[in-house]
């Protein structure tokens, strides 16, 4: 049973963060939002390095700086590209990476040891998760018309799916699929019922969000398809971070956010979802 005090702290922290995040998405220009998102994503990457067992501050600082420079290089390269081609290519690379991550989840023990090569794989995975997600965030927000609203829709799909999965899994877990779990070795508490609840919640929010973002009934089927893929990949992102934590015996990625753990614990699903939503938005043209 959950601790009522801990639950209260978790809810208060969420209520404090949500208005700030929503205001930034809807009101800031893309350049400012990208800078703010880079800060948040790099904090998450710092925690990722810890899960990859880079414990010394100096190596982690050097690695984080290298990723920051990569972001700056991508911005510089995109400045001369009217279609933001570098960002689009990196976002596509992110989608490809998450398919490989799904395979990694299948082979749970891969890179589970503490040797150098295992760390190298996890460090590369961190860059392939964070940088494409950041590129996708910028692409969605900069798109016309109403890119800021579409980014908001993409994020509330993930947030709704996460909440739907939690509540449905908690109240109905085990009723449809018995004792079968979604990924018992990685995250024993996640159920198929919860995943279905998250999928339904995410698609329901996407349907409403389509009209909020200025779309209409002609765009609705495409948005729902993209929303379904977005939710499924957000689950992969959540599971992959759980895999990293299992490998090192960690409960949370950090303790920066009261009641929520680390930043990475809050953005793991978003990292996988944003490139998928950006690619779907490009393909279907909504």
State the DSSP H helix or E strand holding residue 196, giving kind and residue range, or none if neither.
helix 192-212
Cβ(237)–Cβ(269) under 8 Å? yes
C-alpha angle 67-72-77 in degrees, rounded to nearest 5: 120
Give the per-residue pLDDT at 1: 43
Q: How many CA atoms lie within 13 A of 50 on its CB side?
A: 19
Give the per-residue pLDDT at 217: 95
Give the per-residue pLDDT at 208: 96
For the chain, residues with pLDDT lower than 70 are 1-11, 258-260
Cβ(277)–Cβ(230) under 8 Å? yes
Every domain of the chain and the residues it spans: 4-284
Token readout for 241 is 């971070």
């Amino acid at each position: 049973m959950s601790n009522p005090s801990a639950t209260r702290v978790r809810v208060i922290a969420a209520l404090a963060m949500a208005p700030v995040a929503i205001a930034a998405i809807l009101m800031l220009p893309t350049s400012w939002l990208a800078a703010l998102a880079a800060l948040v994503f790099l904090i998450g990457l710092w925690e990722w390095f810890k899960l990859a067992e880079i414990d010394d501050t100096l190596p982690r600082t050097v690695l984080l700086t290298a990723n920051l420079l990569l972001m700056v290089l991508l911005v510089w390269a995109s400045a001369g590209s009217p279609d933001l081609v570098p960002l689009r290519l990196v976002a596509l690379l992110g989608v490809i990476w998450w398919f490989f991550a799904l395979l990694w989840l299948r082979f749970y023990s891969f890179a589970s040891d503490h040797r150098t090569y295992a760390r190298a794989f996890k460090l590369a995975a961190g860059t392939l998760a964070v940088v494409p997600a950041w590129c996708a965030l910028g692409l969605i927000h900069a798109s016309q018309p109403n890119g800021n609203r579409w980014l908001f829709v993409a994020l509330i799909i993930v947030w709704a799916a996460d909440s739907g999965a939690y509540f449905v899994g908690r109240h109905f877990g085990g009723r449809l699929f018995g004792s079968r779990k979604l990924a018992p070795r990685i995250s024993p508490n996640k159920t198929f019922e919860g995943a279905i609840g998250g999928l339904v919640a995410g698609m329901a929010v996407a349907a409403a969000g389509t009209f909020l973002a200025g779309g209409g009934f002609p765009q609705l089927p495409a948005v729902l398809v993209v929303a379904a893929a977005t939710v499924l990949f957000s689950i992969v992102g959540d599971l992959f971070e759980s895999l990293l934590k299992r490998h090192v015996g960690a409960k949370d990625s950090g303790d920066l956010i009261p009641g929520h753990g680390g930043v990475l614990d809050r953005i793991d699903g978003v990292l996988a979802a944003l490139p998928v939503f950006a690619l779907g938005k490009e393909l279907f043209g909504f």
